[in-house]
């Protein structure tokens, strides 16, 4: 898939899309038109404190993309040694910086119809339309990425601290080969490498479908879309609330 | 012999089925049709031109 910055009115949205694919662990070829060069993005730099990141903002959005907590991306630039940094922050001195990237190519499996921009556009609407009631008093760090359902379910098997009803529902629910995940975390929770909410979407869904999600939830209920067997949407109460749970980190390993 | 496989999810006993086109799903559906879908269609159209634009990006 080819994504170009000029396609979007807000350049920041373009970088949110790029970050979602980086967070998915998919190598990206990033084009820098003004530099007549291209590099491969393979990861992101150390994750900074979300509390400090949010406190430094002039305005407090409901959802802040997780890319703001990382000051750089990790690249392979064929003119230099591997594992260089591409600064996302103007204060950082690197050979190129994120603003130089004006397009990228991301290799996707042919059935991945739902793209990152679709996911980034739609998930805030579920809250805005009261499909789910997320406490909007706080800014949430939103981490959006794709993974395989196999890798995801394997991670669930180890997630012992998760609400058992929530965990079991996800394990039970048939999922396609690839899924999108939206993780939302209050800044202090994110700094503990945990999340408050995790919503799952079908990466093979048509972007024009109204219900591309598989499971969304708030503190009191889950809304589950059984796309495999009955084509029904269920609302399931979470009588014990939702415990905070560990961020999904099977895509990119964290070493800092 | 019926080949139907009966599937029972763990959450079904406590679950309430939300009917599409009614209740709170109706509000969401109409919002989706009016506000979200046109935006998605517009972006999808633009993406079709992205490949053409990509050829104009000369990279080395």
Residue B28 lies in a domain: yes
Residue A53 lies in a domain: no
CB-based contact (8 Å) between B10 and chain A?
A: yes
Last residue of a domain, one of A105, A131, A147: A105
* pLDDT tens digits, one per residue of A19-57: 999 999 999 999 998 888 999 999 999 899 999 999 998
Contact A165 B31 (CB under 8 A): no
Q: Domain check: are A17 and A76 in the same one? A: yes
pLDDT digits (tens, 9 = 90+) for A84-119: 988 887 777 888 889 999 999 999 988 999 999 999
pTM for this model (two decimals): 0.92
Name the pairing type of β-strands A213-217 and A221-226: antiparallel
The domain of B22 spans 18-60
Chain A contact set for B47 (CB, 8 A):
1-3, 7, 115
Q: Please give the mean pLDDT across all residues of chain A.
A: 91
Distance of alpha carbon B39 from the chain centroid: 13
Closest to A196 in 3D by CA, of A151, A226, A166 = A166
Distance from CA of B34 to the nearest CA of A (A): 11
Instruction: Answer yes or no: do B17 and A118 touch at CB < 8 A.
Output: no
Q: Establish if A25 belongs to a structural domain.
A: yes
Inter-helix orientation angle B23-31/A116-128, to 10°: 130
Q: Which pLDDT tens digit goes with each residue over A65-75?
A: 999 999 999 99
Give the number of domains in chain B. Answer: 1
Which of A17, A232, A238, A240 is the best substitution to test chain B (most B C-beta atoms within 10 A)? A232
- Chain B residues lying within 8 Å of A31, measured CB to CB: 54, 57, 59
Answer whether residue A255 is part of any domain.
no
What ipTM, to 2 d.p.? 0.82
Dihedral sign for Cα atoms in the order A88, A92, A97, A99: positive
Domain ranges, residue A84: 2-48+71-105
E strand or H helix that includes residue A54 = helix A50-55
Give CA separation, A30 vs A38, A183, A214, B43, in Å: 5, 25, 31, 20
* Number of domain units in chain A: 2
**Same structural domain for residues A26 and A124?**
no
Pick from B11, B31, B43: CB nearest A129: B31
A101 and A127 in a single domain? The answer is no
pLDDT in tens, A120-169: 999 999 998 889 988 877 799 999 999 999 999 999 988 888 999 999 99
The closest CB to that of B10, out of A115, A168, A210, belongs to: A168
């Amino acid at each position: 898939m080819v994504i170009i910055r000029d396609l979007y009115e807000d350049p920041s949205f373009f970088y949110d899309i790029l970050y979602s694919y980086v967070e998915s662990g998919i190598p990206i070829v990033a084009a820098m038109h003004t530099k007549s060069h291209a590099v491969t993005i393979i990861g992101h730099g150390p994750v900074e404190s979300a509390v400090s990141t949010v406190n430094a903002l002039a305005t407090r959005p409901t959802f802040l993309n997780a890319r703001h907590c990382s000051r750089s991306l990790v690249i392979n630039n064929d003119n230099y040694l591997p594992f260089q940094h591409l600064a996302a922050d103007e204060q950082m001195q690197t050979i190129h910086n994120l603003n130089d990237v004006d397009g990228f190519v991301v290799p996707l499996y042919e059935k991945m119809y739902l793209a990152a921009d679709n996911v980034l556009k739609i998930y805030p609407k579920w809250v805005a339309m009261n499909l789910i009631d997320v406490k909007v008093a706080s800014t949430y760090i939103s981490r959006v990425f794709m993974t395989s359902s196999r890798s995801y379910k394997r991670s669930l098997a180890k997630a012992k601290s998760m609400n058992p009803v929530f965990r079991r529902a996800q394990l039970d629910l048939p999922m396609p080969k690839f899924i999108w995940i939206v993780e939302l975390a209050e800044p202090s929770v994110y700094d503990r490498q945990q999340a408050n909410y995790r919503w799952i979407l079908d990466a093979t869904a048509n972007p024009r479908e109204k219900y591309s999600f598989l499971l969304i939830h708030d503190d009191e209920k889950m809304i589950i879309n059984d796309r495999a067997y009955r084509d029904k949407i269920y609302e399931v109460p979470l009588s014990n609330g939702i415990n905070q749970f560990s961020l999904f980190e099977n895509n990119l390993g964290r070493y800092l | 012999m019926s080949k139907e496989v009966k599937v029972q999810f763990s959450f079904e006993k406590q679950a309430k089925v939300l009917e599409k086109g009614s209740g709170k799903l109706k509000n969401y559906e109409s919002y989706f049709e009016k506000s979200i879908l046109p935006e998605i269609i517009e972006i999808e159209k633009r993406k079709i031109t992205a490949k053409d634009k990509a050829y104009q990006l000369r990279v080395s």
